[in-house]
Amino acid sequence: MDEAAGNLAGALNGLEEGLLLVVTGAGVSSASGVATFRGSEPDAVWKQSDMSLATFDYFLRDPVGQWQWYLQRFEALKAARPNAAHQALVSLEKWQRERAGRFRLVTQNIDTLHEEAGSEEMIKVHGTCDRFRCSRAGCSLGSPTGSLPRDEVDLSAFVSEPTRETLPSCPVCESPLRAHVLFFDEYYTEHQDYRFAEVEEMAMAADLILFVGTSFAVGVTDLFLQCGSRRSIPMYSVDPAASRFPQWARLIALQAPAEELLPAVCRQLGIGDS
């Protein structure tokens, strides 16, 4: 652990004014009690559920079933609190900015733990659990620009009696609302909140990429791996499981829990409360 922390701390220290890009997946929230998607744990989401549930096609076929599934997931996130990994990333962000460097966090997670911990320079590329949007494209509350806060939506009737008639509806056009997340059969360009143009810019501008708790199974991580490898920049992966990245990727794997390794890195750098 100390050797891995020292190696990563040395790389970060040498970055100076460059752009530190951190890419987080579900593993960063695992210590907060949030289930991973493809991890080895028995409660991993895609071991418990069919991936088709997270598609717009499924929403069209069974909006009631999808809403029940997402609300169950969202409810499970309510009790979660930021863990030491989230806090360490906040410390790294402040440290990098204080020395005139640049920092950007791109998270695949829809939970709100990064922002609760205090992260500021962040892109939620897969959406968020604390907003909904209209399912009708072009509506002012739908894609490509609209959404509304979850706390402005009354879910009580649907929770009490989940039917098509009680589905939460758009206050503008009365179409059914949907989760403000990227479905598997959608594109990153579906909504401006995913900020994918900025993500692509970050992939080409980063001077070091730090992956935390990701299984490298989605398009955005493939983008970062390809750009980073092509540009020969340092890339590190922090994950307790054996990393599952492609063999061609120029990546240094640090096999350790993020909530342990990242605070150790901060201690090596003399920053934060870790």
Helix (H) or strand (E) holding 186: none
**How confident is the model over 181-210, as a mean pLDDT?**
97
Residues 211 and 270 in one domain: yes
Confidence at residue 113, expressed as pLDDT on a 0 to 100 scale? 98
Please give the tally of structural domains in the chain.
2
Taking the complete model, does pTM exceed 0.85, yes or no?
Answer: yes
Confidence at residue 36, expressed as pLDDT on a 0 to 100 scale? 66
Residues 6+ apart with CB under 8 A from 222: 216
**Closest to 244 in 3D by CA, of 33, 5, 38:** 38
Written as six digits, the tokens of 206 are 């980063």
**Domain ranges, residue 60:** 39-79+132-181
**Closest to 231 in 3D by CA, of 63, 61, 18:** 18
User: Which backbone phi and psi does 19 adopt, to 5 degrees?
Assistant: -95, 115
pLDDT tens string 84-120: 999 999 999 999 999 999 999 999 999 999 999 999 9
**How confident is the model over 149-159, as a mean pLDDT?**
96
CATH of the domain at 29: 3.40.50.1220
41 pLDDT band (50/70/90 cuts)? Answer: low
**Closest to 135 in 3D by CA, of 59, 50, 75:** 59
Residues 27 and 90 in one domain: yes
pLDDT tens string 248-271: 788 999 999 999 999 999 999 999
User: Catalytic positions, please?
Assistant: 126
